Amino acid sequence: MRLLFLGDMVGRSGRTAVWERLPGLISDFRLDFVIVNGENAAGGFGITEDIYLATLEAGADVVTTGNHVWDQREALEFASRSDRFLRPANFPIGTPGRGTGLYEARNGARVFVTNIMGRVFMHPELDDPFQAGERELAACPLGEQADAVVIDFHAEATSEKMCFAHFVDGRASLVVGTHTHQPTADHQILNGGTGYLTDAGMCGDYDSSLGMDKEEPLNRFLSKVPKGRFEAASGPATICGVGLDISDRTGLAERIAPLRLGPRLEETVPAFW
């Protein structure tokens, strides 16, 4: 099974790049399943229903989120009726929407996806992500109810991401970090067979500050006095993520590599594709 995960879409530039490139990627590389983190797609803050639906139309099978999930208030409405839209599973009981889902891939495989948010340096501080991960994996074990398990771990601290991945090693196909918007170079397969990447990076304009126009963030570092709002950078976007080949027999990772396409970073696609 061949899977692609794309990091946080940021603003119009990022989402447009994903919508334009994703259909060709699915066709050219015969992708069986695609997950896109969309939590910054609406001007850098949250996601609207129209953007969510357009991302599915482009070929995404699931859209995950994180701490910005409710920045666009309409998300509180459409989350509950959209089974391919995930917010972090460790929100308190009663929160709108869902944090996990079981989906059918293009090759017929059952793919269990869960979105979990870390707590170190993160706001709001949600329920224990390790307990949430244990609960979700117990509900849909790899090799029993699921042929593949993917966890979007939305977190700031590298140590928390890495420890969570070791915690679920051998029980998930992929643990991929999101949130920092900076792609890391530590893609690997852990000892138990789980694919891992600390952060997928963002799909957005990298001539920026984390996808936002760099002038206002720079001003705040220099003067400590806000002059305006953060605005999503509008230059040409680079899409970043990770590709994974998953064993049809075990559901664990066989090969993993980053994907980066666009004008700013060195372009790369998984060589095994």
Q: Which residues are catalytic?
A: 68
In whole angstroms, give the CA distance from residue 195 to residue 237. 26
In whole angstroms, give the CA distance from residue 47 to residue 203. 14
Beta-ladder partners of 72: none
Name the one residue in this structure whose structure tokens are 């919508």: 19
Show Cβ contacts of residue 239 under 8 Å, excluding neighbours closer than 6 positions: 6, 14, 17, 18, 21, 203, 259, 260, 261, 262
Beta-ladder partners of 246: 253
In whole angstroms, give the CA distance from residue 195 to residue 36. 17
What's the token pair of residue 16? 């447009």
In whole angstroms, give the CA distance from residue 203 to residue 240. 5
What's the token pair of residue 258? 């980053």
